[in-house]
Amino acid sequence: MLTITKEFHFSSSHVLDRLPEGHPCARMHGHNYVVVLELSAPRAELNHAGFVRDYRELDVFKKWLDDTLDHRHLNEVMDGVSPSAENLAVWIHDLWREQLPELTAVRVSETPKTWVVYRPAPLRGPAG
């Protein structure tokens, strides 16, 4: 299996729900988010150029981040889902898995010290 990753950046505000009283993250604040997409393919399925996928084909994801999330309030963008880093990773994965079938994981960082990795179990092939 070959795995590629590409890193993207955006800045947004959010408010986290259902936190204990006095938790600072229940107040509006912002982060310089980092998102890393991880795409994987078996060695036999690399394309003619020897790529899992051309990194440049991920420019569409960068444009989507800029248009959809950058300098926005995540609570408004994410349709009522509480914008924790975990929920954001799942939300991004679920929105992009059809367009990027090689997508195997989405990583999200809110601060230089914190990372979430969403790596769903691989779908079973015909052989099970």
Ligand X SMILES: Nc1nc2c(c(=O)[nH]1)N=C([C@H](O)[C@H](O)COP(=O)(O)OP(=O)(O)OP(=O)(O)O)CN2
DSSP 65-125: HHHHTTTSBHHHHTTT----HHHHHHHHHHHHTTT-TTEEEEEEESSTT--EEE-PPPPP-
Which residue lies nearer to ligand X by CB, 52 or 69? 69
Closest CA relative to residue 61, chosen from 28, 118, 22, 99: 99
Q: Is 93 designated active site?
A: no
Q: Which of 94, 114, 119, 120 binds ligand X (CB under 6 A)?
A: 114
Residues numbered 12 to 31 that lie near Zn ion (CB under 5 A) are 25
Task: State the catalytic residue, choosing from 7, 9, 25, 86.
Answer: 25
Q: What is the rounded CA–CA span in Å between residue 13 and residue 102?
A: 30
Q: Which of 25, 28, 46, 60 binds ligand X (CB under 6 A)?
A: 25
Closest CA relative to residue 27, chosen from 39, 13, 9, 40: 13
Whether 14 has a binding-site annotation, put simply, is: yes
Closest CA relative to residue 95, chosen from 128, 53, 65: 65
Which residue lies nearer to ligand X by CB, 2 or 15? 15
Q: Is 110 designated active site?
A: yes
Q: Is residue 92 a contact residue for ligand X (CB under 6 A)? A: no
Active-site residue list: 25, 71, 110
Q: Which residues bind Zn ion (CB under 5 A)?
A: 25
Q: Which residues bind ligand X (CB under 6 A)?
A: 16, 25, 84-86, 110-111, 114
